[in-house]
């Protein structure tokens, strides 16, 4: 279903994924940043990793939101 990534990159974009260290606003910004790179990506394997990173960032944000309820 998913893939646990600790780093994702494409061209000039490189992101170390330390989900616990990001606050909610950083997670939201990173989702947008990674999605922008994913839309520009033309390498299938890298696109797949970027998509996994988006999902993992969304899950991390969702877990925090639900944990705070």
Residue spans of the chain under pLDDT 70 = 1-3, 69
Tally the domains of the chain: 1
Containing 45, the helix (H) or strand (E) segment is helix 44-67
Residue 7 domain-assigned (yes or no): no
Residue 23 phi, psi dihedral angles, 5° rounding = -85, 175
Question: In the prediction, which pLDDT does 25 show?
Answer: 93
Separation between Cα atoms, residue 33 and residue 15, nearest integer Å: 10
State the pTM of this model.
0.84
Question: In the prediction, which pLDDT does 66 show?
Answer: 87
Question: In the prediction, which pLDDT does 49 show?
Answer: 93
Containing 29, the helix (H) or strand (E) segment is helix 24-40
Question: In the prediction, which pLDDT does 1 show?
Answer: 47
Residue 6 domain-assigned (yes or no): no
**Domain extent for 63:** 16-67
Signed CA dihedral, 35, 36, 39, 44: sign only: negative
Separation between Cα atoms, residue 22 and residue 28, nearest integer Å: 10
Question: In the prediction, which pLDDT does 69 show?
Answer: 55
């Amino acid at each position: 279903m998913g893939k646990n990534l600790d780093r994702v990159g494409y061209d000039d974009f490189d992101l170390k994924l330390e989900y616990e260290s990001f606050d909610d606003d950083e997670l939201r910004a990173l989702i947008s940043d990674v999605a922008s790179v994913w839309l520009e990506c033309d390498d299938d394997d890298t696109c797949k990793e970027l998509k996994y990173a988006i999902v993992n960032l969304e899950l991390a944000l969702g877990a925090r939101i639900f944990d705070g309820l």
